[in-house]
Amino acid sequence: MLNDFEIQIATKFIFGHGAEERVGQALRGLGATTVLVHYDGGDYLEKSGLLDRVVGSLEGAGLRHLELGGVQPNPRLELVREGISLCRREGVDAVVAIGGGSAIDSSKAIGLGAATQRDVWDFFTGVAEPERTLPVAAVLTCPASGSESSQVAVVNNEAEHAKLLVSHPVVRPAIAVMNPELSLTLPARPTACGLADMFCHVCERYFTDDADFGILDAMSEGVLRTIVNVGPRLMENLDSYELRSEIMWAATVAQNNSIGMGRNQDWATHALSNELSAQYDIAHGATITAVMGSWMRYVYRSNPRRFARFAREVFGLRNEEMSVEGLALSGIEATEDFFRSLGMPVSLAELGVDGERVDAMLDAIEYFGEDHAIGSVRRLTREDCRAIFEMAIEAER
């Protein structure tokens, strides 16, 4: 049962061996002349030669380039504003992000801000709606957020302890450069965080207050099964090109909304986990796994058949003697077991989070609608969100 929808995914995908060496010509084809290369502060780019290959591709295409490093997890508004000033001063007309979701989101925000005279934070607070951006090319090294083709960018305003997003089709990168080889040296922890993030991205669309959705459900379940089957194997074989390629594309499909259109989406887990990241600066994937099980247990009775279907189709749980509710709970337990197999936490206690900042997080959540709530499976008020945080704090105990 599909509702009416519109979607435009204009991102050009360059996937496979040596993909990063084609970024210069791809940007040249878009009319770029001066490019900002934006990345994190690690030494991987230089030691691996990736930065040199990207720069070489730009120079080979006759493009002038500037560089701005220093991107951190939960990308900072301060660095975004620095990048915008640099772009305006130097006449930059395209941005190349090298890294994972943080570098890509930071680059998207720079592209938005540099294309206008407004303060870029206006787009995140809803004061203004994006109308244009500088073209962004994402050279992906850490599959996780799916930011390389999504219409979402997330930025952390440290001064206000606010981690907000902007969602608009204009935000989608023009080019996604995806070479699985670039992720072969990615350590275990960010690999696991990425698997958790992409798994949750599908679940935010799959769990809904609506009825079944035919092809969209089948596609979603296929992506989730792939993540569940490949994820633990990848954690034991981090240098597998085959497994990395499966996960790299799964992360993209999970977040470009091709499996989410035409149905009510939830996004309560992300709303909760984003505030944890903003308050505690904890990796996004870890905040997701620490609250997702508690969210599931709090809301599953609002649509138990969907949670039971999730247990059957994703984890293969098919006990005919088990009730719908029992099957739903088994699927929730299987989800937490999957997170544990990745070495990820399933409670806030494991992250050292207590109840001290719960009120601050509740204050920052963007509730909406006449009921002033979040979510779709079950509309969650401030007090519902408090209960989920408290469940997640006590879960491991």
Whether the predicted pLDDT of 14 surpasses 80 = yes
Residue spans per domain, the chain: 12-182, 188-394
Fold classification of 188-394 (topology level): Dehydroquinate synthase-like, alpha domain (1.20.1090)
Give the separation between CA 27 and CA 34, rounded to whole angstroms: 10
What are the φ and ψ backbone dihedral angles of 66, each rounded to 5 degrees? -125, 165
Kindly indicate the confidence band of residue 253, based on its pLDDT and cuts at 50, 70 and 90: very high
List the one residue out of 150, 48, 55, 141 whose CA is nearest residue 103: 141
CATH 3.30.56.10 fits domain 12-182: no
Q: In this predicted structure, which of 7-16, 154-163, 315-324, 388-397 has the lowest mean pLDDT?
A: 388-397
Give the separation between CA 325 and CA 304, rounded to whole angstroms: 6
Tokens of 66: 């500037």
Kindly indicate the confidence band of residue 1, based on its pLDDT and cuts at 50, 70 and 90: low
Q: What is the pLDDT of residue 396?
A: 58
Whether the predicted pLDDT of 47 surpasses 90 = no
Tell me the average pLDDT across 270-275: 95
Tell me the average pLDDT across 5-17: 91
Kindly indicate the confidence band of residue 162, based on its pLDDT and cuts at 50, 70 and 90: confident
Tell me the average pLDDT across 81-110: 97
pLDDT digits (tens, 9 = 90+) for 319-342: 888 899 999 999 999 999 999 999
Kindly indicate the confidence band of residue 395, based on its pLDDT and cuts at 50, 70 and 90: confident
Whether the predicted pLDDT of 146 surpasses 60 = yes
pLDDT digits (tens, 9 = 90+) for 57-90: 999 999 999 999 999 988 999 999 999 999 999 9
Which residues are CB-contacts of 321 (< 8 A; sequence separation ≥ 6)?
none
DSSP 183-208: GTT--HHHHHHHHHHHHHHHHHHHS-
Whether the predicted pLDDT of 397 surpasses 70 = no
Mean pLDDT of the chain: 94
Reduced to 3 states (helix: H, G, I; strand: E, B; else coil), residue 12 is strand
Give the separation between CA 114 and CA 108, rounded to whole angstroms: 10
Whether the predicted pLDDT of 121 surpasses 90 = yes
Q: What is the pLDDT of residue 313?
A: 96
